[in-house]
Every structure is written in structure tokens, then in C-alpha cells.
Structure 1
Amino acid sequence: MKRTILFVDDEPNILMGLKRMLRPMRDKWEMLFAGSGPEALAIMAAQHVDAVVSDMRMPGMDGPQLLRRVMQEHPDTIRFALSGYSDQEMVEQSIAPTHQYLTKPCDERQLVSALEMAMNARELVPNKAVLDKIARVEHLPVLPEIYNRITAELAKGEPSPKEIGDMVAQDVGMSANILKLVNSAYFGLPRHIAAPQQAVIVLGVNVIRSVILSLHVFQSFEHMGRASFSLPMLWGHSMRTGAMARTIAQHESLPKEEVDHAYIAALLHDVGKLIMEAHCADECVRIYEVVRAENRRVAEVEAEQLGLTHAEVGAYLLGLWGLPPQVVHAVARHHDPLPKPGALGAADLVHFANLLDHEIFVFNEHYAKATPTPERLDAIGGPERYADWRKHVLIMGLGSEDK
């Protein structure tokens, strides 16, 4: 089935250029073109649109206004901004309602790749009721104490980028938000940024202050009531799993890019739990009641009750946000008991780092403990290699037999 893409720009020459550039995609995409925000909304009211790509500066209804309307009225439509990144004010207005931001001029390969990856990510979530809730996510919740520490640092006369970066890296939601921002085309960076600390330094204190304080991009968990699980424990698990995945990748002498992918995927592997807790609270309460009463795994009960897991939910949002496909893939299948063919990669490292942390640290005696399947162990060379990884992370001080 063809996917439908709507391009919106008030300059006819831009639309004509897009038509010519994307002519090779006619067999895969149905492409629609609108010269204004109201025209785009009229088209979307008449037919389903998989993705909308909008210019930012348009008379009347501008790009951010259009994309926010799309987010509210057509939440399952993927939202792209296509504009120059030098207009900081317009960029700031479009951060929340935009999944990804591409800059003009944008070549065919970049545009097609970004749209295809985002639309493929949406297929990870078959439950439309859950998908509609997640698709409206503008940002991820953060732990109140981390948020308060960062705002206090930003209020100083000369805040330290290093201190702020270290604080950001201590929260899963904050890390995901900052990495989404720094790796978009908002700032035109020529390389991928893998670590939250590096992202803060690259963006600079002024941008971080604008994003966190002025735009209220971050929402604190303190306004959400009681969570279904321990947020500090989730944070600790995510931090340790990221460190373990990076340590194992370095131990296996993988290329730096693969090490980075493994680290960030492991750090964010449970980000779907944050999303579901913030936007599917009632469902989460029921899921965790069953998990504790029947001593079962969270992902197993999620799949039973919702037809999806937090792994797929997290991968879906990260895919919409344009994180590398290796990261999205690793997050999506970090519970997968069966191996996939290919060389050792981020998906394997996240899977086993997650298991290692659950093995070394007891989170809840009422949660069933996951263990590696024989198939996954065989795929990495047998249980001896897993034992070697376990020994290595313990030597590096990432776990303790007594905890």
C-alpha cells in the first residue's frame, strides 16, 4: 500500500522543486501538495495522511501552528519541519509539535530516508489507541530532583556546561529529549552526538536554558501522581545498563560508532516505560498489579493486555524523533528471546546488558527474573562469553554481588 505524504509551502517554486526531486518515489508514495496551512488541514480532513512536511514561515497560519493542529487533530500523522535552521525563534516554537526538523536545501536521499525510517517506526505500535496517545508526546517526563538541580545550576551567574551535562545524563527522559534536539537539523551539526554530556556542551548553556526554562519543553513527574514503579530504580537500571553495554562493546573492540549506539540504546532501552506511565497511566496500573500478583515479567503482561510492549513503544518514539536505526532496532528488540542473524551489534549488547543488570541487582522480589535463552547464548558463542562479559562488568565496578 502506498504511503501518503503531504508537503506544505507557500512558495510554488519550492513545491515544484519537491515534485521534481521526488518523482522517483511515485510508485511508493502518493504525494500531495498544499500552499498554506488551512489548505493542508482541508486535505487532511478529507483523507488519511501518513506524514506532513511543512515549511515554517508562511503567512497566516505558520508551520508551528499547522503542526500543532495536526498533532491535536491527526495524532497518527508524522510531523516534519522543512526550513532553515538559522531562525532561532521559529525553531524554538516548532520544537514541541515537530517529530523531526530538516533544513533547506534538503537532498532527496536525506528526505526519503528520514520519512521512511519514521513511517517504519510507526509500524512497531499496532494498538491504535496507544499509538494516538504516544503520537501526541511532545517531550518526556523527568525526575523532579534532576529538573530542580538543573534549573538551579542554570540560575547561576556562570552555569557549568559540564555540571549540566552530567545532570542530564542522570535522567532517561532528559537524555532522550536533549539527544532528539541535538541530533535534529535544528542546529546543523555535521556529526551524530551520542552522549547526553556531549550534547549539552555542543548546544551551549543559552540553548539549554531556552529549551528547559523558557519553552517548558520538560514536564516533571511530580505533577503526575503516584507512579506504577520506582522512578529512581528505573533511572539507576538505565544508567547501569548503558554503562555495561558500553563496557562490553569496548571489551569486544567494536568501532566507536557501534560503542556509541550500544550505549545510547541501552541508556534509553526502557524509555517506553516513561511514555506509558505518563500517557497510559490506567493501563500501567493494571499491568503492574498483574506483574506483582503473578510474579511475571512486565513485557509479557504488556503484550498480553495491550498487544505491545514498552520496548516497541520506546522504539517507536525514538524512530519518530530520528535517532539512528541501530538504536531504534536495539530498543525495540531488547526483550527478544531469539537471535537475529548478523555480527555482534547494539541489539545484542543491549539485550545482554539488560539481563546482566537484572541478574546482578534484585529490583523487586515479585518480578520474574529473565535469563538468557539458549538460542541467544549460542548466537554470541555460548554461555562462556556471557560469563566473561559478566565478570568484566563486575571488574569494572558496574555491579556488586552483594546488591
Structure 2
Amino acid sequence: MKRTILFVDDEPNVLMGLRRMLRPMREKWDMLFANSGQEALDMLAKAHVDAVVSDMRMPGMDGPQFLRQVMREHPDVIRFALSGYSDQEMVGQSIAPTHQYISKPCDEKQLVTALEQAMGARDLVPNKTILDKIARVEHLPVLPEVYNRITAELAKGEPSPKLIGDIVARDVGMSANILKLVNSAYFGLPRHIAAPQQAVIVLGINVVRSVILSLHVFSSFENIGRVSFSLPMLWGHSMRTGAMARAIARHESLVKEDSDHAYIAALLHDVGKLLMEAHCPEECERVQTEVRAQNRRVAEVEHELLGLTHAEVGAYLLGLWGLPDPVVQAVARHHHPQSAQPGIGVENIVHFANLLDHEIFIFNEHYAKAEPSPERLDAIGGPERYAAWRQAVLSVDLGSEEP
């Protein structure tokens, strides 16, 4: 089935250039072109569109205003911002409604890869009701304590980028948002930035300030009377799993890129739980009731009752944001009993880092503990390697469970 992409720009030459550049994609994509935000909205009202790619600076309705309206009226449409380096002051306005940034002028391969990956990520969530809810999410939830610490540092006359980076690194949601932005095509960096501390230094205080000020989703947790799991425990689990993945990658002497991917995927592997808790509370409550009553695994019950798991929901949003495909796939499959890729790769490292943290740290005595499946053990070379990984992570300082 062909995908439909809508390109929006007030400059006819830009649209003509995109049409010409993307001619090889005509067999796979139906492409629409609009020269204003209003014309694009009229097209969206008449036809199904999979993704929009919008210029930032347009007369009348600018790019951020257009994308925000698309987010409200057509939440399942993937939203890209096409922007030049003179648009940096608009980054703060466009962060919320934008899934990814593409630099202008853009490279054909880069644009095609980003769109194909984002549209493929949506296929990870077969439940349309949950997809519509998650598609409206602007940012991952952030703990109020973390938000307050960063806000206090930003309020100083000369805030410290290193200190802000250290605070960001302690929070899963904030790390995801910062890494999303710094690794977008908009900044055109020659290599992937894996550490939040480095990302803060690269982005600069002003951009970070706009990111922090736009993060309102944390308030969704303040307004929930009852959360079905402990947020500090989830944060601790995510941080430890990231540390374990890094230790395993170091034990296996993985190249830096694979090691970074394993760390990021492990750090973010449970972001789907945050999204579902904030935006699908009734579904989460049904799942947790069954988990506690029957001593079953969360992912197993999610799949049975909802037709998907938090792993797929998290991978969906990370895919929309353009995180590397190995990260997206590792997050999506971290509960699968079978490995898609045999060997010592990112997917298997994240899977076993998650299992090891659940084995070493008891979160809830009512939750059934997952055991390594024979298929996954075979994929990494047998139980002996799993035992060696266990020893490797036990030698690491895994830090506190508190955020």
C-alpha cells in the first residue's frame, strides 16, 4: 500500500525541487504539495495523509502553528519540520508539535530514510485507539523534582551546562527529549551524540531553556490521583538497565556506536509505560489489576488485553522522533522470547540487561519474574554467556533507585 506524504512550503521553487528530487519514490509514495498552511489543512480534510513535511517560515500561518493544528486535528499524521539554520529561534515554538527536524536544503537519502523509518514505527502500534492517544503526546513525562532542579539552575545568571547535563542524565524522559533534538538532521552533526551531558553542551543554554519550558507533560502525573506503579522505581530500573547494557557492551568489546545504541535503548526501554500511564490510565489499571491478581508479567497481560505492549508503544514514539533503528527495534523487542538478530547485538544486550535488573532487584513480589528463554539464550551462545554477563553487571556501580 502506497504512503501519502504532504509537503508544505510557500516558495514554489522549493516545492518544485522536492518534487524533482523525490521522483524516484513515485512507486512507493503519493506526494501532495501545498504552498500554505491553510491549503495543506484543506488537503488533510479531504484525504488521508501519512506524514507532513512543513517549512517553518511561512506568511500567515507559520510552520509551528500549522503543525500544532495538525497535531490537534490529525494526531496520527507524522509531523516533520523543514527548516534552515536561520530558523533556530523558532525551535522552541516547534518542539512540541514536531516529531523530527529536517535541514533545508535537505538530502534526498536523509529525507527518504527519515520518513520511511517514522512511518514504519507507526506500524508497531496496531491498536488504533491507543495510537490516537499516543500520537497527541508532545513530550515524554518528566518528574517534577527534575524539572524544578533544572528550572532553578536555568534561573541563575550564568547557568552551568555541565550541571544541567548531569541533571538531565538522571531523568529518562528529559534525556529522550534532549537526545531527540540534538541528533535530529536539523543540527547536522557529523556523529551521534549519546550522552545527555554532551547534548546540553552542544545545544547550548538557550535551546535547552526552550526545551525545558515546553515540557508540560510532567503535570499529567501531578493530576493523576493514583499511579499504577512507582515512578522512582521505574526511573531507577531504567538507569540501572542502561548501566548494565553499557557494562555488557564493554565486556564484549563492542564498537562505540553499538555500545551507545545499547545504552540509549536500555535507558529508554520502558518509556512506553510512562506514555500509557499518562494517556491511557484506564487500560493501565486493567492490566495492573490482572497482573496482581494472577501474578503474571505486565507485557504478557498488555498483549492479551490491549493487543500491544508498552515496549511497542515506546518504540513507536522513539521511531517517530528519529532515534536510530537499532535503538527502536531493541526497545520494541525487549520482551520478545525470540531474538530477531542472533549474536551479541544491541537487541539481545538490552533484552538481557532488562532481565538481569529484574533478577537482581525485586520490584514487586507480586510480579512474576521473567526467566531467560532457551531461544534467547541460544541467540547469544548459551547460558554460559548469560552467566558471564551477570558477573559483568554485578561489578558495576548501579547507583540509587531514586531519580
TM-score normalized with structure 1 length: 0.96
8 Å Cα contact 1:169/1:197 also seen in 2:
yes
Indicate whether 1:134 and 2:106 are aligned.
Answer: no
Indicate whether 1:275 and 2:285 are aligned.
Answer: no
Deviation larger for 152-161 or 257-266: 152-161
- In structure 2, give the amino acid aligned to 1:86: S
Local SS of the residue matching 1:87: helix
Name the % identity: 80
Shift of 1:218: 5.4
1:59-108 Cα offsets, whole Å, 9 max, x none, are 11111111111111111110011121332222221111011110111011
Aligned alpha-carbon RMSD (Å): 1.5
Give runs of aligned pairs for residues 100-249 of structure 1, distance below 5 A.
100-213=100-213, 215-216=214-215, 219-220=218-219, 221-249=221-249
8 Å Cα contact 1:329/1:347 also seen in 2:
yes
- What stretches of structure 2 of length at least 5 have no aligned partner? none
- What stretches of structure 1 of length at least 5 have no aligned partner? none
Indicate whether 1:289 and 2:289 are aligned.
Answer: yes
Structure 1 partner of 2:34 = 34
Shift of 1:216: 4.3
**Cα 1:102–1:399 shift into 2, 3 Å:** closer
1:124-148 Cα offsets, whole Å, 9 max, x none, are 0001110011111111111111111
Shift of 1:281: 1.1
Local SS of the residue matching 2:250: helix
- In structure 2, give the amino acid aligned to 1:90: M
8 Å Cα contact 1:7/1:52 also seen in 2:
yes
Deviation larger for 332-341 or 231-240: 332-341
- In structure 1, give the amino acid aligned to 2:331: V
Shift of 1:342: 4.1
Deviation larger for 388-397 or 123-132: 388-397
Structure 1 partner of 2:48 = 48
8 Å Cα contact 2:103/2:187 also seen in 1:
no
Structure 2 partner of 1:351 = 351
Local SS of the residue matching 1:334: coil
Q: Distance in 2 between matches of 1:193 and 1:397?
A: 23
Structure 1 partner of 2:302 = 302
TM-score normalized with structure 2 length: 0.96
Q: Distance in 1 between matches of 2:398 and 2:67?
A: 43
Q: Distance in 2 between matches of 1:398 and 1:236?
A: 9
Shift of 1:398: 3.3
Shift of 1:373: 0.5
Q: Distance in 2 between matches of 1:343 and 1:380?
A: 5
1:364-384 Cα offsets, whole Å, 9 max, x none, are 000000010011111111111
Q: Distance in 2 between matches of 1:24 and 1:247?
A: 44
Shift of 1:222: 2.4
Deviation larger for 361-370 or 55-64: 55-64
8 Å Cα contact 2:244/2:396 also seen in 1:
no
Structure 2 partner of 1:253 = 253
Give runs of aligned pairs for residues 67-86 of structure 1, distance below 5 A.
67-86=67-86
Shift of 1:261: 0.2
Q: Distance in 2 between matches of 1:330 and 1:341?
A: 10
Shift of 1:331: 0.3
Count of residue pairs brought into register by the alignment: 399
Q: Distance in 1 between matches of 2:25 and 2:76?
A: 22
Shift of 1:399: 8.5
Structure 2 partner of 1:94 = 94
Following superposition, which runs of at least 4 residues in structure 1 exceed 6 angstroms of deviation? Answer: none
8 Å Cα contact 1:91/1:186 also seen in 2:
no
